[in-house]
């Protein structure tokens, strides 16, 4: 019975060694995969940081462009107001504005000459340029 017990113990040791070797190989493979995944995660983090930095640059550029557009809109409004004021103060411009409106409504050369006090040549030119 001593030999049988020795054989059983030896069989258990051999099975245990085989199991340890199998587990060691499995752990080695898993360790390699973990290292590969760690490298991928680090690369992804670098790419994410790069994209984040670029996005921040784009955002700040967009904000700057928005501010410039607002400033330009304000300047444009001021220029329009100045032009409007200038055209209202100039009596000659008022006459031409009136003449253009009359032409749009279908007025003829004689009407322009009488109502806007324009020479015949100017009345003809306005009608040719602005008549529909």
**Domain spans of the chain, in order of start:** 31-80, 90-132
- Taking only the tens place, the pLDDT of each residue in 43-81 is 999 999 999 999 999 999 999 999 999 999 999 999 988
Share of the chain above pLDDT 90, in %: 52
Distance CA 100, CA 107 (A): 9
Q: Is the pTM of this model over 0.85?
A: no
Give the residue with greater pLDDT, 105 vs 95.
105
- Taking only the tens place, the pLDDT of each residue in 104-125 is 888 888 888 888 888 888 888 8
């Amino acid at each position: 019975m001593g030999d049988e017990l020795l054989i059983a113990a030896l069989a258990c040791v051999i099975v245990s060694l085989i199991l340890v070797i199998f587990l060691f190989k499995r752990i080695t493979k898993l360790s390699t995969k973990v290292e590969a995944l760690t490298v991928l995660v680090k690369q992804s983090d670098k790419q994410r940081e790069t994209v984040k930095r670029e996005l921040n640059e784009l955002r700040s550029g967009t904000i700057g462009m928005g501010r410039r557009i607002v400033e330009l809109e304000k300047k444009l409004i001021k220029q329009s107001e100045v032009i409007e004021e200038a055209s209202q103060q100039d009596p000659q411009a008022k006459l031409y504005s009136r003449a253009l409106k009359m032409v749009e409504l279908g007025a003829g050369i004689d009407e322009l000459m009488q109502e806007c006090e324009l020479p015949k040549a100017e009345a003809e030119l306005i009608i040719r340029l602005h008549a529909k």
